Amino acid sequence: MTGNAADLVARHRPTLDAALAAIRTREFFSHFPEQSKAYPKEAAESARAWFEAVRGTRFPLDQPGTDGDTGAERSPYGFDLGITYPHADPTRCCPRWRPG
């Protein structure tokens, strides 16, 4: 990704403004349609293939201050995801952080 934060905010200003308005009015907001029928069939097939490929694997997140892996998440649809990822230890990754 190129550019800086100001460029990113400028590019997405209409979406950010709509989200902020929804927060103020407590109205529903979603930038993307929630119904799968709004997307091409190929997109759904591609998303399912990606999901099936990552189930039971380790997400290789590159982040500092990890102390092992974690991940025992269960889908709200009732099945284990089997996905693990690095566990961040705040005392390692954020030297100024102190519990409590």
Other residues' Cβ atoms within 10 Å of the Cβ of residue 55 = 13
Nearest to 55 by CA among 78, 80, 79, 81: 81
What are the distances in angstroms from CA 100 to CA 9, 67, 92, 97?
34, 20, 16, 9
| Paired residues of 58 in beta bridges | 84
Residue 38, classified by CB atoms within 10 Å of its CB into exposed (0-12), middle (13-18) or buried (19+), is: exposed
pTM (2 d.p.): 0.54
Q: What is the pLDDT along the chain (100 residues), one digit of tens a residue?
A: 456 888 999 999 999 999 999 999 999 999 998 888 888 999 989 989 999 999 999 988 888 888 999 998 899 999 999 999 999 888 877 777 777 6
Spatial separation of the C-alpha atoms in residues 26 and 89, rounded to whole Å: 35
